[in-house]
């Protein structure tokens, strides 16, 4: 990227630029400034032009949490602009006229269940390699096409995190004529299109045409255009003559049928490097975030094509870093994916929105194994907003003050958050009344708490329980609360359990209890492993379980002491 590009704001690295200007506490304010400047420049005679924020995706594999990155990044910029009084439309394009180039190994039904290709109508996909996604039957049989199925899941994901988006089918942009003028312009200026694209792609020869028709014989997208007629006598639309030839698809070739025919500009598609900037023009896009994979290749070519071929002013760009899932890249084929619907079974929507509110220019990991840390971080962020964290730094306070109202559905100081791991402990019992009783006894629910706050607090228990089961961690056990498991212990073990009960009754922290378990076993000449096993049998009717000291510290003391004494 040249210095001139940086100077005129065309660099997508707008959050990474280091300058002496005022720094906002929230990155979306920085982006909103640039969007407002663009809108003022492009619409000087309009009082309140609608601002359009866009994201997009090509249907492929499983629409997972990583795919909503730009939905939520766009949402925060939209929220800031709405705060400033602007009308904002957030659109998300499905590039569903792209051809299917390879078979996905994993798919997803509308309920969020991952399934192998062999468990659905795989033939619906296998017979349609090279066809547009919207021309391929839905392998689940529930939507109009494979493309529509994918788009429905994206829309459901946005709805689940309460982000209002308009899904836009690229196929519809062609078939309803929205793309007519842009496509006609690209074909009329095909010589210039070749010159510009040749700077970014090696496979651009003198015969290159920026249009890929759909073969009327076999239904596949073909890249071989033999002639262009901008004003045909028999049609109001420009047409192209084509030959259906083979298509390269990574390490394989999709065979063309050899048919020669004619197609109008509504019966095909532009290559993506023209289609993407074309979307900016027809949708009036003012801002689009995208991953860093687009920043060095697709964005420079898109910017160039928009300005120098299509006569379109590009939107404000913003590159964001990818994030990983438990330290590994998202991958449908490798099974390293999680859907938004899955995540919301583990934590509240506001916690997920908080994750995406953090600086997009930094790489992060979304760890299911350590999800308790993210929830604890959110709880501190929330408490900081309400002035409950005395040691909060100036930056922490500024970020919380600015961002918290954008993350939650409603700001309510009476809210209650059970510590996530404590909620996981409560999840060891199925009794909802007992869960509330323990939470109140341990001081997590005040006596005067409003009912809505109590319900919200206890709803976290099921989420934490789901997390424990999904990760099979130390909280994935069933606490035998209602009756004492039927186990006999020798006199030495009975005495040791009674000593441990006295120690816990006196009041000690988790690590002190853990250490005392070892010391009690030694004083009574009991094998340490056997003594821990006695504790697990007594509380879980199992031979093993969570780290015992911290667990006993989290459960209500009265019950723990009584159980160790074999009283209940």
**What mean pLDDT comes out for the span 427-432?**
92
Distances (CA, A) of 293 to 12, 253, 298, 312: 11, 25, 8, 23
Q: Both 278 and 257 in a single domain?
A: no
Q: Both 168 and 227 in a single domain?
A: no
- Reported as a single tens digit per residue, the pLDDT across 37-79 is 999 999 988 888 999 999 999 888 788 998 899 999 999 999 9
Nearest 10 degrees: Cα torsion 355, 358, 361, 364: -40
**What mean pLDDT comes out for the span 549-555?**
87
491 contacts: CB under 8 Å, gap ≥ 6: none
Return the closest-CA partner of residue 425 out of 257, 322, 548, 527.
548
Q: What is the pLDDT of residue 554?
A: 81
Distances (CA, A) of 65 to 70, 149, 341, 471: 11, 17, 9, 18
**What mean pLDDT comes out for the span 514-532?**
95
Q: What is the pLDDT of residue 3?
A: 37
Nearest 10 degrees: Cα torsion 255, 145, 109, 459: 140
Structural domain containing residue 461? 414-476
Q: Both 294 and 173 in a single domain?
A: yes
Q: Residue 513 in contact with residue 503, Cβ under 8 Å?
A: yes
Token pair for 411: 């700001």
pTM equals 0.89
Return the closest-CA partner of residue 302 out of 289, 315, 292, 291.
315
Q: What is the pLDDT of residue 464?
A: 98
Least confident of 18-27, 88-97, 166-175: 18-27
Q: Both 297 and 156 in a single domain?
A: yes
Q: What is the pLDDT of residue 7?
A: 35
| 407 is a domain residue | no
Q: What is the pLDDT of residue 1?
A: 37
Work out the burial of residue 505: count CB atoms within 10 Å of its CB; fewer than 13 is exposed, 13-18 middle, 19 or more buried: middle
Distance CA 52, CA 285 (A): 5
Q: Both 223 and 298 in a single domain?
A: no
- ∠ CA(265), CA(267), CA(271), 5° rounding? 70
Q: Is it the case that residue 148 has pLDDT exceeding 60?
A: yes
Q: Residue 285 in contact with residue 306, Cβ under 8 Å?
A: no
Place of tokens 């997208």: 221
Return the closest-CA partner of residue 481 out of 548, 403, 556.
556
Token pair for 276: 């993407």
| 124 is a domain residue | yes
Q: What is the pLDDT of residue 435?
A: 92
| 522 is a domain residue | yes
Nearest 10 degrees: Cα torsion 201, 206, 212, 218: -120
Work out the burial of residue 171: count CB atoms within 10 Å of its CB; fewer than 13 is exposed, 13-18 middle, 19 or more buried: buried
Percentage with pLDDT > 90 across the chain: 76
| 358 is a domain residue | no
- 261 forms beta bridges with 242
Q: Both 241 and 103 in a single domain?
A: no
Average pLDDT of the chain to the nearest whole number: 92
Q: What is the pLDDT of residue 293?
A: 83
Q: Both 106 and 134 in a single domain?
A: yes
| 17 is a domain residue | yes
For 229, which DSSP code? E
Please report which residue ranges of 472-556 form alpha helices under DSSP H. Answer: 491-506, 510-523, 528-540, 548-554
| 186 is a domain residue | no
Distance CA 540, CA 536 (A): 5
Distances (CA, A) of 350 to 257, 320, 407, 420, 505: 52, 20, 6, 14, 38
Q: What is the pLDDT of residue 38?
A: 96
Distance CA 514, CA 505 (A): 14
Place of tokens 């359009």: 52
Q: What is the pLDDT of residue 13?
A: 61
Token pair for 239: 């047409």
Q: Which of 222, 237, 269 is the last residue of a domain?
A: 269
Domain CATH number, residue 282: 3.40.50.620
Task: Determine how many CB atoms are found less than 10 A away from the CB of residue 314.
Answer: 23
Higher pLDDT, 4 or 484: 484
Q: Which of 269, 297, 317 is the last residue of a domain?
A: 269
Please report which residue ranges of 120-217 form alpha helices under DSSP H. Answer: 122-126, 146-160, 170-175, 180-188, 190-197
**What mean pLDDT comes out for the span 370-382?**
97
Split at pLDDT 50, 70, 90, the class of 104 is confident
What's the full length of the chain, in residues? 568
Task: Determine how many CB atoms are found less than 10 A away from the CB of residue 525.
Answer: 8
Domain CATH number, residue 526: 1.10.10.350
Q: Both 115 and 166 in a single domain?
A: yes
Q: What is the pLDDT of residue 528?
A: 94
Task: Work out how many domains the chain is built from and give that number.
Answer: 4
Q: Both 81 and 110 in a single domain?
A: yes
| 184 is a domain residue | no
Q: Both 557 and 436 in a single domain?
A: no
Q: Is it the case that residue 14 has pLDDT exceeding 70?
A: no
Q: Which of 269, 284, 301 is the last residue of a domain?
A: 269
- Reported as a single tens digit per residue, the pLDDT across 252-299 is 899 999 999 999 999 999 999 999 999 999 999 999 999 888 888 799
Q: Both 218 and 315 in a single domain?
A: no
Place of tokens 């800031």: 80
Token pair for 508: 């000690």
Q: Both 294 and 164 in a single domain?
A: yes
Return the closest-CA partner of residue 189 out of 228, 222, 236.
228
Q: Residue 10 in contact with residue 317, Cβ under 8 Å?
A: yes
51 contacts: CB under 8 Å, gap ≥ 6: 35, 39, 78, 81, 86, 87, 88, 89, 286, 287
| 398 is a domain residue | no
Return the closest-CA partner of residue 230 out of 197, 183, 271, 191.
183
């Amino acid at each position: 990227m040249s210095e001139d590009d940086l100077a005129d704001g065309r660099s997508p690295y707008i959050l990474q630029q280091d300058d002496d200007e005022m720094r906002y506490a929230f990155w979306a304010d920085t982006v909103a400034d640039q969007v407002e400047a663009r809108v003022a420049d492009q619409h000087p005679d309009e009082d309140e032009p609608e601002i359009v924020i866009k994201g997009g995706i090509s249907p492929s594999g499983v629409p997972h949490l990583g795919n909503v990155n730009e939905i939520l990044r766009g949402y925060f910029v939209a929220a800031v602009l709405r705060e400033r009084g602007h009308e904002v439309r957030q659109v998300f394009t499905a590039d569903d006229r792209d051809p299917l180039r390879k078979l996905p190994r994993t798919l997803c039904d509308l309920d969020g269940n991952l399934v192998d290709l062999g468990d659905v109508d795989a033939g619906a996909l296998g017979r349609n390699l090279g066809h547009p996604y919207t021309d391929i039957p839905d392998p689940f049989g529930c939507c109009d096409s494979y493309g529509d199925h994918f788009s429905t899941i994206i829309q459901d994901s946005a709805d689940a995190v309460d982000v209002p988006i308009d899904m836009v089918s690229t196929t519809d942009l062609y078939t309803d004529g929205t793309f007519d003028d842009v496509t006609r312009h690209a074909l009329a200026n095909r010589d210039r299109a070749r010159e510009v694209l040749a700077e970014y792609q090696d496979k651009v020869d003198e015969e290159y045409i920026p249009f890929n028709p759909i073969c009327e014989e076999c239904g596949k997208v073909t890249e071989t255009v033999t002639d262009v007629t901008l004003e045909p006598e028999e049609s109001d639309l420009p047409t192209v003559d084509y030959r259906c030839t083979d298509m390269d698809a990574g390490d394989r070739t999709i065979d063309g049928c050899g048919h020669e025919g004619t197609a109008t500009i509504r019966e095909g598609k532009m290559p993506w490097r023209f289609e993407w900037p074309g979307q900016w023009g027809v949708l009036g896009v003012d801002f689009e975030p995208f991953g860093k994979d687009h920043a060095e290749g697709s964005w420079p070519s898109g910017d160039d094509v928009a300005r120098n071929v299509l006569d379109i002013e590009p939107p404000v760009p913003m590159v964001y870093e990818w994030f990983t899932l438990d330290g590994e890249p998202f991958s449908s084929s490798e099974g390293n994916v999680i859907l938004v619907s899955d995540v919301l079974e583990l934590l509240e929507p506001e916690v997920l929105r908080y994750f995406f509110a953090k600086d997009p220019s930094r790489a992060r990991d979304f760890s299911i194994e350590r999800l308790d840390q993210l929830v604890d971080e959110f709880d501190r962020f929330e408490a900081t907003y309400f002035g409950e964290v005395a040691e909060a730094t100036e930056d922490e306070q500024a970020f919380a003050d600015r961002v918290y109202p954008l993350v939650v559905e409603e700001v309510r100081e009476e809210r209650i958050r059970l510590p996530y791991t404590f909620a996981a402990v409560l999840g060891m019992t199925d009794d909802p009344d007992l869960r509330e009783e323990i939470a109140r006894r341990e001081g997590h629910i005040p006596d005067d708490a409003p009912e809505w706050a109590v319900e919200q607090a206890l709803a976290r228990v099921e989420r934490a329980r789901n997390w424990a089961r999904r990760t099979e961690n130390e909280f994935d056990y069933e606490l035998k609360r209602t009756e004492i498991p039927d186990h006999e212990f020798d006199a030495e073990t009975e005495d040791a359990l009674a000593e441990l009960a006295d120690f816990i009754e006196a009041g000690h922290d988790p690590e002190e209890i853990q250490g005392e378990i070892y010391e009690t076993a030694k004083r009574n000449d009991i094998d340490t492993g056997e003594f821990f096993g006695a504790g697990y049998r007594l509380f879980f009717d199992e031979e093993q379980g969570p780290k015992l000291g911290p667990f006993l510290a989290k459960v209500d003391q009265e019950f723990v002491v009584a159980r160790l004494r074999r009283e209940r």
